[in-house]
Amino acid sequence: MKPESKKVHGLDFMFAVACYIQSSSLLSSFFVSITRQDSWIIVLFALIICCPLAWIYARLVESFPTKNLFGILQTVYGKYLGGFFCGLYVLFFFILTSLNLIDLSEFVKSTIMPQTPLVVLSFTFLLTSAWAVFVGGLRQMVKYGFLMTMICLLIVIATILLSLNLMDFENFLPVMDLKPKKYIQATNIVVTIPFAEIIIFLMTTNHVQSGKRGFFPIILGGIAIGCITILLVIMRDITVLGNAISLFSLPSFETLRMVSVTQTLSRMEIVFAFILIALLFFKVTWLYYVTVISAKQFLRFQDHRRLILLIGASAITSSFILYPNFLVHNESGQKIIPLVWPIFEIILPLVTLIIAKFRGMTRKRQTGSENQNSSSASKSAAASPSGSQSPSGTGKPSLPTDSKEQSGSKFQSNAGTSSGTGQHGDLRSQSV
Amino acid sequence: MKRKLKTVFAMLLCSTLLCMTGCWDNKELDSLSIVTGIGIDTGKEPGNLDLSFQIASVQNGSKKEGGGGEAAPYLIRESKGRFVLGGIDALRYGNSRQLFLQHNQVIIFGSDVAKSGVKPYLDSFMRNTETRMEVWVLVAKNDARSILSTKTEQDKISSVALTRMIMNERAISPYSSTNMLQFTSHLVDRSTAPVTLVVERREEDGLQILNFSGMAVFKDDVMVGMMDMYQMQGYILSMGEVNGGSLEIVTDLGNADLKITKSSCKQEIVLGDQGNITFKLKVNTVLAVGALQNFRGMDINKVISLVNGKAKEALETKIKACFAESQRLQSDIYGIGAHIHKHHPKEWKTMESAWASIYPKIRLELEVETNLGSSGKISESLNMREGHE
């Protein structure tokens, strides 16, 4: 993971977001068992709800274009409260990494390698992810997003075509026949578990070139592509499995096991299993990457590399401690996580945006070209009437600087008077 | 320093290859007992099961015919247990190879087990990661073991023979055969009664043969009755498309054997104002003459017209007989309840709890159209010629 000297293109970032959401298609059992044949409607509800959420994220990022999430939190809430929230987010990212790691390992164990110990699978995956985090940077991380997204879409379309002979479109009926409470519960699950988890990307948005239209179309585009994929997967599973869909812990995999075009063209689930593993691996690597850079920023480590193996080892350990078995994990995914995750994914970003707005910290969206010229902007900020100085004294925010200088407390009092506030706060995040 | 770290990392990554060779999950062909069929019968002791596993013998199965005195290409292993898993586990102690269920073709329930309910046993199979939901579910007319141990001639392994027979049946109509997913789906649905093919073993001229003798009808997971082939044909004709089968017409003037070329059925369920339900069926069948006997001296057009009318009556009788039997058994094999649930969910809420008592009161409105279009390569039969001048 190298300091990012050049920004990532917005489209690449969009596909990374899309791929992240696509990889969650395996977790459909969390809500499919609640809303059964209406689960596809839930995905659409979730997409509608995610539109304002994408706007909140985009507005937050555009208000502080040179900061990542932690920079924003410390700017808005100050050193101590902001630090406290950052600590909570580190824990949140860490738990997400552990949960997704155990999901990945459980999937491999239940489908391909039933006798291999889970710890070996987790260790192997995490070690490979650690290598990716160690040698790759953000550019390398997003580079594969487009390819993976397209492969996933192609696979989903191919499986739809191959399972056409098994589909019964009457399985969608009756529509909206369940209690409203169930729709609310399931929508909450879909929003919180795959969709709003993209808050992890806010740790890297300061390295993304958003373009003229800002971050909203990028984030929403990523969500929409991911949502369409999940929608197709859910619809395929409902039409093939019918009302029995609620029984399976991995409905998608069971659908793929049913695909049999001829006697020779059957039992192809292993091909799809590898694709799903690749997607989940992409997700785990992203989460691991974000956990490492957030922990580095929170703990003020100078070298993130010292944290990679430490966090990885902790993630493997915690993945076995968090839940005793998949049933408890599933129940938690239905009842506990959808109540806790929104604090980090929806409430805190929303409150942060509102506070930033009231304190006059937000500013109009910068265009891509303006965003790229942030160094010149910081120079002008340094010469602003408020008299705030660049903490590094260099006026070059793209370079890593001492984190002590970037606590944000120095320029809290000047916040809102100058656009330069955001530029200064960026210095730490740029060193990520 | 950086280079050293990279080297260490690279070495660590390479070492993971040792873990990725699948040491724990390697499955050599000579260490597996490939199960091709499972039979479940009630045991002599109450509450116990007699489980039969048909295990394909790869070596024998691949041998060419000839030489005489060859051993069967499969072996039957039996175990007893209260649960399916217990039975599988019990086999470990007497089997040098591990049971491998990925290639299982059929699960056959003995009629005694089917009459006592199959849910507990299906549950075991659904939980097993090796079992596939496309496995066919059958009911044996007597015991399941005898079906699996049948020495079929053309396909040496009886479960493989059964699978091919099912595929042949499905080429005509997919409604009578049921795989585990469809069976489970009907059980989850609660109103639709699952049906499966009934298989029996017969001996003809010293040869053992397997034969589908009808259809087992379930109410929830308990088999409540069996329909014979006559009623089964009525069932498949009223469910949708049929692409084969025959129809025997017996009249005072002569007999005819008709081939069902194609048949389609349009179902409509009408809910009356007073809660009465009408099940409307419009069957359109295209027939071809397979054989004509007698009809001495009759004109071919008159014969066709007569046979066509009789065919219509015969089809109506079949369909009505099947419907009446399903009402007698209180088993909604047509999925009428599921249809009401899907298309009239509000009305269904009032019916759901009392569906078993509502179903027998459903009125059937049947409209059959037959079209005897083809007479084959010849028109008049040999007997018909005899009366002509």
Is A401 a member of any domain? Answer: no
Is A127 a member of any domain? Answer: yes
> Which residues in chain A are contacts of B345 at CB distance < 8 A?
174, 177
> Which residues in chain B are contacts of A124 at CB distance < 8 A?
16, 19-20
Is A414 a member of any domain? Answer: no
- How would you class A415 by CB atoms within 10 Å of its CB: exposed for 0-12, middle for 13-18, buried for 19 or more? buried
Q: What is the pLDDT of residue A335?
A: 83
- Residue B177 φ/ψ, nearest 5 degrees: -90, 145
Instruction: Report yes or no: A21 and A145 within 8 Å, Cβ to Cβ.
Output: no
Q: What is the pLDDT of residue A87?
A: 94
**Minimum CA–CA partner of A246 in chain B:** B188
- Residues A117-157 have pLDDT tens digits of 888 899 989 988 998 888 877 777 788 888 889 988 898 89
Query: Is a pLDDT exceeding 50 seen at residue A299?
Result: yes
Q: Out of A111, A113, A131, whose CB is closest to B24?
A: A113
Q: What is the pLDDT of residue A101?
A: 93
Of A371, A423, A305, nearest to A2 by C-alpha is A305
Q: Does B342 touch chain A (CB under 8 A)?
A: yes
Supply the DSSP string of B27-85, one letter for each residue: --GGGEEEEEEEEEEE-SSTT-EEEEEEEE-HHHHTSPS-SS-PPPSEEEEEEEESSHH
ipTM of the complex: 0.84
Q: Which fold has domain B240-389?
A: GMP Synthetase; Chain A, domain 3 (3.30.300)
Domain boundaries, chain B: 31-58+72-228, 240-389
- Residues A327-336 have pLDDT tens digits of 888 788 878 8
Average pLDDT, stretch A353-375? 66
Q: What is the pLDDT of residue A112?
A: 83
- Residues B172-199 have pLDDT tens digits of 999 989 999 999 999 988 889 999 999 9
> What residues does B374 pair with on adjacent strands?
B288
Average pLDDT, stretch B65-75? 64
Is A118 a member of any domain? Answer: yes
Top-confidence residue, A101 or B87:
A101
Query: Is a pLDDT exceeding 80 seen at residue B91?
Result: yes
Q: Does B345 touch chain A (CB under 8 A)?
A: yes
Separation CA A244–CA B178 (nearest Å):
14
The distance between the two most distant Cα atoms of chain B, rounded to a whole number of Å, is: 112
**Minimum CA–CA partner of A117 in chain B:** B24
Of A420, A331, A431, nearest to A75 by C-alpha is A420
* Burial call A77-113: b when 16+ CB within 10 Å, e when fewer: bbeeebbebbeebbebbbbbbbbbbbbbbbbbbebbb
DSSP state of A411: T
Q: Does B129 touch chain A (CB under 8 A)?
A: yes
Q: Specify the DSSP element, H or E, that contains A113.
A: none
* Domain containing residue A306: 8-372
Instruction: Report yes or no: A162 and A261 within 8 Å, Cβ to Cβ.
Output: yes
- Residues A305-329 have pLDDT tens digits of 888 999 999 999 999 988 888 788 8
- Three-class secondary structure of residue A233 per DSSP: helix
Query: Is a pLDDT exceeding 70 seen at residue A382?
Result: no
Separation CA A108–CA A118 (nearest Å):
9
Return all residues near A323 (Cβ < 8 A) that are at least 6 apart: A102, A329, A332
Return all residues near A347 (Cβ < 8 A) that are at least 6 apart: none
Return all residues near A85 (Cβ < 8 A) that are at least 6 apart: A73, A77, A348
Contact A127 B13 (CB under 8 A): yes
Q: What is the pLDDT of residue A65?
A: 84
Query: Is a pLDDT exceeding 60 seen at residue B255?
Result: yes
> Which residues in chain B are contacts of A174 at CB distance < 8 A?
341-343, 345, 348
Separation CA A236–CA A239 (nearest Å):
5
Of A428, A419, A164, nearest to A293 by C-alpha is A428
> Which residues in chain A are contacts of B341 at CB distance < 8 A?
174
Separation CA A47–CA A53 (nearest Å):
10
Separation CA B139–CA B113 (nearest Å):
9
Domain count, chain A: 1
Top-confidence residue, B98 or A222:
A222
Average pLDDT of every residue of chain B: 86
Find the chain A residues whose C-beta atoms sit closer than 8 A to any C-beta of B.
Answer: 110-117, 120, 123-124, 127-128, 130-131, 134-135, 170, 173-174, 177, 241-244, 246-247, 254, 257-258, 260, 305
Q: Out of A115, A177, A241, whose CB is closest to B345?
A: A177
Listed in order, strand segments (DSSP E) in chain B are: 32-42, 49-56, 74-81, 98-100, 106-109, 136-140, 178-179, 195-204, 207-219, 222-228, 246-250, 254-271, 277-294, 363-374
Q: How confident is the model at residue A116 (pLDDT cuts 50, 70, 90)?
A: confident
Is A380 a member of any domain? Answer: no
Query: Is a pLDDT exceeding 50 seen at residue A390?
Result: no
Top-confidence residue, A21 or A417:
A21
> Which residues in chain B are contacts of A162 at CB distance < 8 A?
none
> Which residues in chain B are contacts of A243 at CB distance < 8 A?
185, 188-189
Q: How many Cβ contacts (< 8 angstroms) between chains A and B?
A: 68
Please tell me whether the overall predicted TM-score, pTM, comes out greater than 0.90 for this model: no
Average pLDDT of every residue of chain A: 80
Helices (H), B178-278: 180-189, 229-239
Is A203 a member of any domain? Answer: yes
Q: What is the pLDDT of residue B61?
A: 47
Query: Is a pLDDT exceeding 80 seen at residue A386?
Result: no
- Residues A167-177 have pLDDT tens digits of 999 999 888 88
Structure tokens at B133: 């939901």
Task: Provide the phi-psi class of A295: left if phi over 0, else alpha when psi is between -120 and 50, else beta.
Answer: alpha
Separation CA B52–CA B77 (nearest Å):
6
DSSP state of A219: H
| CATH number for position A309 | 1.20.1740.10
